[in-house]
Amino acid sequence: MARHRVNPKQVKIHHSYTVHELAERLGVCRSTIRNWQRKGLAPIDGQRPYLFQGVHVRRFLEEQKAKRRQPCPPGTMYCLRCRQPREPALGMVDFSPLRPGTGNLKAICCQCGAVMHRRARQADLARIMPGITVQISQAAPRLVGCEPPSLNCDSGKDQ
């Protein structure tokens, strides 16, 4: 089953929630809420049914989200397979402009060989990828027109 991303803003900060209400609100299983308790989510008091203040739940979820973040230092891109910021293999990166000034960086991971992508401004390439060769490709041409449709003259009506 796919992992479900929980949106901390679904929790109202001025409400109190039971385990069942919180699980229903966030779209997760009740055992997930109990796992969060083991990780540090504290109920209002130790009595059952456990009640959680919305402000504490939201703070807990935002802290968990902040722990998972991995900012990429200069010269690296995030590899989805390794789940780590990695340097491009052979020190080569391709930049494909999408609009004037912005585009996508594309490189190969030095550890696993997966393709890595990163969105960037063309003006910031020297700061984002210092000491790495960035090859800028031409933007794909826009579709200006199309050819006229083919007419099917041999439809078989006259025969």
Model confidence over 11-70: pLDDT tens digits? 999 999 999 999 999 999 999 999 999 999 999 988 889 999 999 999 999 999 998 887
Domain with CATH 1.10.10.10 in the chain: 10-68
pLDDT of residue 40: 93
pTM of the model: 0.61
pLDDT of residue 1: 45
Identify the burial level of 34 via C-beta atoms within 10 angstroms of its C-beta, where 0-12 means exposed, 13-18 middle and 19 or more buried: middle
d(CA 77, CA 73): 8
**Range 10-68: architecture per CATH:** Orthogonal Bundle (1.10)
Name the residue among 73, 82, 89 with its Cα closest to residue 130: 73
Identify the burial level of 138 via C-beta atoms within 10 angstroms of its C-beta, where 0-12 means exposed, 13-18 middle and 19 or more buried: exposed
